[in-house]
Structure 1
Amino acid sequence: MQIPEFSPEQSVLLTHFLSEQKNALSLAQTQGYLFAVICAPEPLDVHQWLEQVCPGCDGQMDEQVLFAFMALYQQISEQVFGTRFSLPVSLQVNSKQQQYLDIQECQHWSQGFLLGAKDYIAKLLAAPLLSEEFKAALDTAHQSLGFFSLSQSDIAAIASEYELTEGQLCQQQYELMGEFAAGFAELIEVVAMNSQLYNDEGWN
């Protein structure tokens, strides 16, 4: 079945739907979560990730909502494996024509990413046959992509340590996140194969 391109209207539909569901992720959390799931060494089926995004909703949601979720999944997948992935959290412009980040959206994306990646990252970092160089590369990427899940006080402390304003630090981290996100799927594939926990058919 041909799934239409994810549209702005579907974005509004999912934002509204998720806001009305108990314990559901936000749209930005869902985007971060699906990015991590799509990059995983072993994919989840649609029922597994829908249950994480919106507990108890699978099988009960409107067909339009389900199609919107599938279109979002396909959009992220095509960016990860085809066109260059770009973070869905964009720079905003205020009334003075100054650019700024939507920190809450960044936070939500990082939270969703960490949720989707936690199991396979932990397994790969604990792999006894994986070299320290690969573990360090994976840990660095993981921390960068999850940066905005840190508390405001932690971000302020890091900014102070490096003699930056919080805005400067967040802007730098946002740019780094984009770089790590663009190559994250490839990194996971290389690390997974070198861990020897994974082969072409799945986890060993």
Structure 2
Amino acid sequence: MIDEKGILFVLSGPSGVGKGTVRKSLFDRATDLKYSISMTTRSIREGEKEGTDYFYKTKQEFEDLIKKNRLLEYAEYVGNYYGTPRDYVEETLDHGKDVFLEIEVQGALQVKENFPQGVFIFLFPPSLEELKNRIINRGTESEELVKNRLIAAKTEIEMMDAYDYVVVNDEIETAVQKIQSIVQSEHCKRERVAKQYKKALEADFS
């Protein structure tokens, strides 16, 4: 095996672009990617499992992790904290497994600040009109909320320069194939394999 450590892949984009659908389709295929498990302070729900759905913490435990910089990103929503634990990600990467994180744009920028060696993929809508239609078709958003989401989406799209790759989510299967290609190409980068090749060259063949 040439790669010693795994790679953190971060998928994000504006609300309504289809991040969850693309991620689910990606993981429905045979993949060695490990999905990043989030941490939360909300109560465990019936049918959920510790370490499978979330890592469940008290508010004090979560805030201690914030102070110790043990979260790659976090946010507070409806009185509960949600975040990505650094230890889980780093331990998984150290075991040679790639980690995949699907997250909102603001969270992705936090991850980039705390873990710049990750690979950041921006999922882009075919057009703002298509994005608007997708949000409306959910049937869960008021007209005012749709408008606010589109305003936020324009701001988030302007942050695209912080990403390494852009994938247009026009057809789900095509988007998934492109993400798979990104994963493969990242493992073929010279800087990722050079260390192992150098080790091989240092071997004693006498």
- TM-score > 0.5 by shorter chain: no
Structure with higher RCO (Cα < 8 A, 6+ apart): 2
- TM-score w.r.t. the length of structure 1 is 0.26
Higher strand share: 2
Point out the structure with the larger helix share.
1
Q: Rg: which structure is higher?
A: 2
